[in-house]
Structure 1
């Protein structure tokens, strides 16, 4: 905890130089103003201690103890961090041999933003009593050792490992800070500079959502602090989009999103009256988002139905064209069949007529030969019968014809 460096009862052997180096070690990149607020020292004491540390070192090593990183603090204030020798000294005070990890200039905005959350909390509260603050490393260790479920590992039982359990899975959360306020609660702190986008941001929410399901420990409230209102709304959108992927009865721990400065009152307990309203508004917002998503799915389904109808209509059109050709061919076949039927009936009628003639001829064979001859002469089918007539009959017929 950062305030352990300042507690003379807990760390009586530390010098003023040690305390400043220890606090800067936890803050990463900071300003003299932030150091003054957090340590409770006036500006002169902070400035003189920094100068003393640098002056005691050789000129070429002064930046290796405390270095100026850039002028991007409040009002263009200079920012500072420990150099390689300063970090080595801090690790020695902690009894650790970790080498050096000099902060880079790309971390300035993020480090200052985290530190400002602590400064605002101390200033609004009036002092640092009852406040506990753990930096990124200590917060990550808390998650690792107290909030991550691990299984006993038999392979480690008879080995040199000091820990006889399996290490947790990768991808666990690494909060920017862990803060506790007596009488209020504990909070994971996440400071968002507005530079993280896409799936990385949503994945971070998922890691927080999934952590409580591994253990039965109560999850600290996660407080997101960001740079402006526009970014806060964007974080809320990502939060609700990520949350909509889980079952309705999934238990989420409390998570709040603030524009920088608005989080302080919440951390000091001024939020109980608004919890129910926030919950209702959040659930309403979630319902609206689900409705919009379902509306989009409905539009997609309607488009698919329209396409299927168009395809069906095209198929029906082709079918109708085929049926039209089929009907035309059927009419032609029917017309030809009707003609054939009429010709067939005429043939049958002719056969009937011939049969009747034959019957009449047979009846009159023994009758009047003249009548028989006339019938044969009139009927072209019986012209071949002329050879059967007597000579006198042929002569008589010829005279009649003339």
Structure 2
């Protein structure tokens, strides 16, 4: 399906309604008083060589020593063949993706296929660049439904040269399986398509017994195909977004081009981003880092299971969550009375002071339910009462709604 030119991802009217008593179920932050990462590690990063570092620039193309350190400290202890790719230490995923899309568009006129739900910024950037953009649903009513034969047909029919996907699928907690990755990589290799993997919220597999700071399978895909870009950030897994960094993996050619272009577009990193990068990946801090990620996974998983119990014997939908700290919830439109998602979100705010972000903002559409994401790191004392309040609100008001056609 081709992306309409008038897609509006603006949620400012909803955000303007927030007050001190609002429960923001779709929040992208965690609670300030829980799931906190080790303050000692952060202090060590910030205070490291302060007198020297405050006077220096840290451009991406000048961090070769840090990259060599990362290879020795992290990659060499894995089964990853680091000769098959290069990587760059960058400030954040959004600006890195923006630069990469511009670079690819300059080299070759882009034709893009989005696997949805997808990060809204990618939609906006591609519209600004006036790129021919198409999209396909990976999910249907909270479950995987992508047809790979149809995917390849769309790639060929529309001349696609860039495929973009979030893993886990944005806001759903549903991760891309290894078999699905192999299919995607083989299709992209066969058709000379760049596969852009946004793994910013990845690395938090609930079912994994071998949690690590890098994903060996994902980086092993470079053994099959060099036309892959992966952006990921351990900061997301640790809830330290205020002092974050990210890694961009790709072919040596693409990373070289990216780093050169970053000097006059992204500029330099803050020194604490470089020192924190080393603290987070230092083997001596590995137990603290992995234990924190495990605690965050445990919190998200437990909250998810409790929410599931609230929806027993109802027509609400909850995604088959198994990764990260978001899940999707679907409220039956017949409980709401209409299908205008922004109006539904606004009514929830005005009536019971609960803020949800309509997931059609991320190109996830449904004919039967109003979907929104839930941040599973919200404290239970706030999360569960808010979900219950919403269910009760629709239960009490359901009788007054006129029937709608589903």
TM-score by length of 1: 0.24
Answer with 1 or 2: which has the greater Rg. Answer: 1
Using CA pairs under 8 Å that are at least 6 residues apart, name the structure with larger relative contact order, 1 or 2: 2
TM-score by length of 2: 0.23
Greater per-residue helix proportion: 1
